[in-house]
Structure 1
Amino acid sequence: MPRVTSPSLGDELLGVVARLNRWASRQAVFDVPPAQARLLAQLDELGPSRIGDLAQADHTSQPTMSAQVGRLEQRGWVQRSADPADARASLIALSPMGAETLASVRRARGAVVAPVVEQLGAADRARLEDAVAVLRELLAIAVAAEDPSPATKGQ
């Protein structure tokens, strides 16, 4: 397998990870629409957020995000609270039920990947464990270097 040069390494990495994510989502069995699972994960990552900030982070319109949040709210997966920085706004956060739902989705997706990982030899599994550690470090570097997240802009 040829080595990937640095400028295209990021493209290759993102492409492989995205494809693996899509494959795992297609194979896993869970009762959460993909867009709702993505929003639960986004809330888990960003923490309590305004609807406009969620829309910006998801590259969607505010009305679309309001509808998505409404569906999550109906299922008891999110809760609203007053925004201490602006009494006119509210913050959306994962509820305990939403956190458990997200954990269930993640377990279902992980369960379809685990048998595939087990098919790798011991040396490749060890390399994969090392790669995951490097990816966590890469993410920490990226997050530390980014501008304030959409959920905190303007606060």
Structure 2
Amino acid sequence: MAVMSSTLGADLLSVVARLNRLTNQRVRMPLPFAQARLLSTIEDQGQARISDLAALDHCSQPTMTTQVRRLEDAGLVARTGDPEDARAVLIRITPAGVTALQQARADRGAVIDPYLERLSDQDRDCLAAAVDVMRRLIEDASSPRTASR
């Protein structure tokens, strides 16, 4: 049964946002959510300029500089020179940052785990398949050939 609905995208985003809010309200993480989100963005980018991170996060460059400095002071990110522009620096995640991000993800996942255990095997299989579909959707949306559409 194929579902074609003009609201499917909005419904998906709404459910994901509510799930994120639920986990953020119930989890105790040593790393604040905003910092974990920024670390995740840096991990996704590989490395990025502060101006690019600010654009991705829809904030000002000074605000992003402050956020990056906090992560840097904690040893979670490091600055490296930009080989394309000697005046610029690139921000990359450190091994400690990867570990902190993995722990944040595990802590957030642990909030949902008891509810997943209550699902039937069929529902868990369906959800696992949906996660795979969502990963493919993200890969497609992130590919250079479709990102500019």
Q: 2:121 & 2:131 partners in 1: Cα distance?
A: 15
Once the two structures are TM-superposed, the CA of residue 6 in structure 1 deviates from its matched residue by: 2.3
Once the two structures are TM-superposed, the CA of residue 39 in structure 1 deviates from its matched residue by: 0.5
Render the CA deviation track for 1:51-97: whole Å, top value 9, x for unaligned. 00000000000000000001111111100000001000000010111
Secondary structure in 2 aligned to 1:17?
helix
1:80 is aligned to 2:79: yes
Once the two structures are TM-superposed, the CA of residue 4 in structure 1 deviates from its matched residue by: 6.8
Q: 1:38 & 1:61 partners in 2: Cα distance?
A: 16
Q: TM-score, normalised by structure 1?
A: 0.89
Q: 1:125 & 1:37 partners in 2: Cα distance?
A: 27
Q: TM-score, normalised by structure 2?
A: 0.93
Render the CA deviation track for 1:27-67: whole Å, top value 9, x for unaligned. 12211112111100110111110000000000000000000
Unmatched runs of 5 consecutive residues or more in structure 1 = 148-155
Q: Indicate the structure whose relative CO is greater, using CA pairs within 8 Å and at least 6 residues apart.
A: 1
Structure 1 runs (4+) deviating above 6 angstroms are none
Aligned residues: CA RMSD: 1.3
Cross-structure match for 1:122: 121
Identical amino acids, percent of aligned pairs? 48
Counterpart code for 2:51: G
Q: Give matches, 1:47-58, under 5 Å.
A: 47-58=46-57
Cross-structure match for 2:131: 132
Q: 2:27 & 2:117 partners in 1: Cα distance?
A: 17
Size of the aligned set, in residue pairs, is 145
Cross-structure match for 1:146: 147
1:21 is aligned to 2:6: no
Q: 1:123 & 1:69 partners in 2: Cα distance?
A: 43
Q: 1:146 & 1:121 partners in 2: Cα distance?
A: 37
Secondary structure in 2 aligned to 1:6?
coil
Counterpart code for 2:43: D
Q: 2:98 & 2:121 partners in 1: Cα distance?
A: 33
Secondary structure in 2 aligned to 1:93?
strand
Counterpart code for 2:13: L
